Amino acid sequence: MLLAGADDYPGWRDAARRLAASGVPADDVAWQTGGEPTDLLADPGLALPPEPGRALRVSRQFPELAETAILHRDPERFTLLYRLLLALQTQTRLLDDPADPLVRRVQLLAKAVRRDMHKMRAFLRFRQIDDQQGERYVAWFEPDHHVLRANAGFFVRRFGAMRWSILTPELSIHWDGEALREGPGADRAQAPGEDALEEMWHAYYAATFNPSRLNVAAMVKEMPRRYWKNLPETRLIAPLVAGAQAREVTMTAQVVAPEDRPTTLAALAQEAQSCRRCPLWQGTNGCVFGEGPGDARLMVVGEQPGDGEDKAQHPFVGPAGKLLDRALDEAGIDRATIYVTNAVKHFKYVQRGKRRLHQKPNSGEIDACRWWLGQEIGLIRPRSIVMLGATAIRGVTSRAGAVTALRGKPVDLTRDGFAGSSGVATFHPAYVLRLPEREAADEAFRHIVEDLRLAAQTDRRT
Ligand code: URA
């Protein structure tokens, strides 16, 4: 059976289902992947049987196990999985028997793949280069197994705001902020040392990018089609890298093992100063971390520091901060008792002459910064979390949500991983400041005060 690629789980699954339904024994099937055809392929006896009329028996764990194990480099994996699929037809509980040699072998394959995926997430290093469209982050990695496609979604979620490429000996994946594209592998002989990556990028990308190798199925899986609509063919050919020097800047996926996570707010704040999870740190005075007592029962989450906050390196000290202070006062809340932070911790702006104009953070930046917010919430365990505006709602819940739809009642944060905290959505103070009509601004301000009171009550009730 010819599969489209070394990690072609859907192809294997479809073929395996049909073969198994027709009772084809495992020894009669030779599995091959694209690019390594043999004479067997010419054998008419290997024609794929028709779709099975009846459903095959598989326990619920099998598809996930197979989808993972198939990424292993072991050339026997397709046969082993097919053997297991056949065995499951008569021994439905077989997967519950870890002593069974076949089950054990397949589980070991899956375990090695999971470890390899984790290694890639933890140890991959991006290096910043400049191409004609600006910054791009490029990483070279040599996975042990075929895990790059399966891991692409992770890097999109983690670094969605940046343009990046991951090059491996077998495959390369490129993200331009909207869509994933694939290219062939990079030459192992060109594997870069510390400073050779940019040079490699020049040689490699100019010579090898091949749009015909797009793997549509894998990409649709990782990235919904709606992100694909603006894919002009011309952009498939990436521009050559300008001759800029690679800067001594690296970005890491920063998967932090639980035992390595800072255990105090001070340590967390200090570590955040060297955050490279997204590019917003550039051109700022630093990371404006949250402030307040470590045992605060109420946490207020804003959008991001503004110009004044970046200069002062403290949250909510500018005009929006003054309005927040007034609302807290009216709600009877002492700011010294609460923890005030932001969904995004670096100031995002565009320079206009001498002025730095605020820019809204995008979802990739909010999601990248969510790691820090999650750690703050985890350490403080506030009873109540006030989300000021849509960015804070996304930061806390990792979903889009409108203030008007959510405000006025507690928001359950259990499925966001913050079971002990109750959310309260309200308007951002800057929104009030921007409203041209005095009456509308007064009304929005009153709503903020009411919502802060609601949060304080939730705090007292629990
Ligand atoms: N706006 C915010 O969202 N946060 C600040 O810290 C200041 C203004």
Whether 309 lines ligand 1, by a CB cut-off of 6 Å, is yes
| Average pLDDT value over all residues in the chain | 83
**Does residue 324's CB lie within 6 angstroms of at least one atom of ligand 1?**
no
Task: Give the count of beta carbons closer than 10 Å to the beta carbon of residue 279.
Answer: 21
Residue 105 scores a pLDDT above 90: yes
Mutate to test the pocket of ligand 1, among 280, 301, 303 (most ligand atoms within 8 A of CB): 303
Q: Please, are residues 342 and 301 in contact by the beta-carbon 8 Å criterion?
A: yes
What is the band of 95 on the pLDDT scale with cuts at 50, 70, 90?
very high
Other C-beta atoms closer than 10 Å to the C-beta of 451 total: 24
310 touches ligand 1 (CB under 6 Å): no
User: 316, 348, 376: which to mutate for ligand 1, most atoms within 8 A of CB?
Assistant: 316
Question: Do residues 286 and 312 touch, judged by C-beta distance below 8 A?
Answer: no
How far is 182 from 209, CA to CA, in rounded Å? Answer: 8
| Cα 158 to ligand 1 centroid, rounded to whole Å | 23
Lowest mean pLDDT of 42-51, 370-379, 426-435, name the range: 42-51
**Is the CB of residue 291 less than 8 Å from the CB of residue 339?**
yes
How many angstroms separate the alpha carbon of residue 430 from the centre of ligand 1? Answer: 8
441 versus 208: the higher-pLDDT residue is: 441
User: Which numbered atom of ligand 1 lies nearest the CA of 430?
Assistant: 1
278 C-alpha vs ligand 1 centroid, how far in Å? 19
Residue 392 structure tokens:
């804070």
Position 47 pLDDT exceeds 70: no
Amino acid identity at 69: A
**What's the rounded Cα separation, in Å, for the pair 305 and 287?**
9
Whether pLDDT at 384 is above 80: yes
Q: What percent of the chain has pLDDT over 70?
A: 79
| C-alpha distance from residue 176 to each of 105, 134, 180, 231, 274 (Å) | 39, 11, 7, 10, 24
The answer, yes or no, to whether residue 49 has pLDDT greater than 80, is no
Most ligand 1 atoms within 8 A of CB, residue of 284, 304, 328, 386 to mutate: 304
The pLDDT of 378-387, averaged and rounded, is 96
Of residues 51 and 378, more confidence is placed in: 378
| Predicted pLDDT of residue 217 | 45
- Per-residue confidence (pLDDT) for residue 279, from 0 to 100: 85
Atom of ligand 1 nearest to the CA of 320: 8
Element (H, E) at 339: strand 339-342
Position 186 confidence tier, pLDDT thresholds 50, 70, 90: confident
DSSP per residue, 135-146: EEEEEE---SSS
Ligand 1 closest atom vs CA 389: 3
Average pLDDT (145-161) is 89
The dihedrals phi and psi of 269, each to the nearest 5 degrees, come to -60, -40
Residue pair 426/407 in contact (Cβ under 8 Å)? The answer is yes
Task: Decide which of 337 and 34 is more confident.
Answer: 337
**Least confident residue range of 10-24, 220-234, 404-418:** 220-234
Task: Say how far apart CA 451 and CA 200 lie, in whole Å.
Answer: 55
| pLDDT confidence of residue 52 | 65
CA-to-CA distance for 41 and 128, rounded, in angstroms? 44
Cβ proximity of 356 and 346 under 8 Å: no
Q: Could you tell me the distance, in angstroms and rounded to a whole number, from the CA of residue 396 to the centre of ligand 1?
A: 15
On whether the CB atoms of residues 122 and 86 are closer than 8 A, the answer is no
Q: Is it the case that residue 26 has pLDDT exceeding 90?
A: yes
pLDDT tens digit sequence for 278-327: 889 988 999 999 999 999 999 999 999 999 999 999 999 999 999 999 99
β-pair type (171-175, 180-184): antiparallel
Which residue would you say has higher pLDDT here, 216 or 254? 254
440 or 47, higher pLDDT:
440
Band of residue 243 on the pLDDT scale cut at 50, 70, 90:
very low
Ligand 1: which atom is nearest the Cα of residue 302? 3
pLDDT at res. 314 = 97
Over 90: is that where the pLDDT of 128 sits?
no
Q: What is the arithmetic mean of pLDDT over 74-93?
A: 95
Q: Please give the number of the atom of ligand 1 that sits closest to the Cα of 340.
A: 6
**Is the C-beta atom of 289 inside 6 A of ligand 1?**
no
What's the pLDDT at 247? 31
Q: How far is the CA of 251 from the centre of ligand 1 (A)?
A: 26
**Please, what's the b/e burial string for 283-298 (b: 16 or more CB within 10 A of its CB; e: otherwise)?**
ebebbbbbbbeeebbb
Q: What is the pLDDT of residue 233?
A: 24
Q: Which of 401, 331, 405, 316 is nearest to 366 (CA)?
A: 401
Q: Is the pLDDT of residue 242 over 70?
A: no
Q: Is the CB of 315 under 6 A from ligand 1?
A: yes
Task: Give the list of residues 6+ apart from residue 58 with CB closer than 8 angstroms, or none.
Answer: 85, 88
Q: How far apart (Å, rounded) are the C-alpha atoms in residues 129 and 304?
A: 27
The finding on whether 279 has its CB within 6 A of some atom of ligand 1 is no
Distance 305 CA to ligand 1 centre (A): 4
Per-residue tokens: 169: 């000996």
CA of 439 from ligand 1 middle (Å) equals 23
What Rg value do the Cα atoms of the chain yield, rounded? 26
Q: Residue 18 has what pLDDT?
A: 92
* pTM, full prediction: 0.56
Provide the pLDDT for residue 228: 37
What's the per-residue H, E or C state across 271-320? HHCCCCCCHHHCCCCCCCCCECCCCCCEEEEECCCCHHHHHHCCCCCCHH
